[in-house]
Amino acid sequence: MTILTRTWAILVSLTLLSLTTMSFATSVPAWMVNTAVLLAGAFKAFQILRHFLEVNRASSGWRTLLYGYLVAIFGLLLAISVSA
């Protein structure tokens, strides 16, 4: 399996996992659901950035900046949703 196809399979699996999580959404605390779906989203965004947008081929400075931006955005979204 090539990297591109493996990345696609990971993205599909995580999306299906997020959809499954929704069906349990009423029986578990909101912060757990929010954390799970946001972390899944963050990992999917990282995979797209790294393998589809080929940031793994970028210079180390750009890699740090782009991955750091992703961590900052998802960190903020997670902090805001969990603090409620």
Q: Which of 24, 68, 71, 80 binds other proteins (CB under 8 A)?
A: 80
**Cα distance between residue 69 and residue 55, in whole Å:** 13
Q: How many residues does the chain have?
A: 84
Instruction: List the alpha helices (DSSP H) in the chain.
Output: 3-23, 30-47, 60-83
Q: How far is the CB of 4 from other proteins (least distance, A)?
A: 5
Q: Is 48 strand, coil or helix? A: helix
Q: Which of 1, 8, 24, 68 binds other proteins (CB under 8 A)?
A: 8
Token look-up 């793994």 returns 56
- Residue 50 identity (one-letter amino acid): R
Binding site for other proteins (CB under 8 A): 2, 4-5, 7-8, 11-12, 15-16, 18-19, 21-22, 25, 30, 33-34, 37-38, 40-41, 44-45, 48-49, 51-55, 57-59, 61-62, 69, 73-74, 76-77, 80-81, 83-84
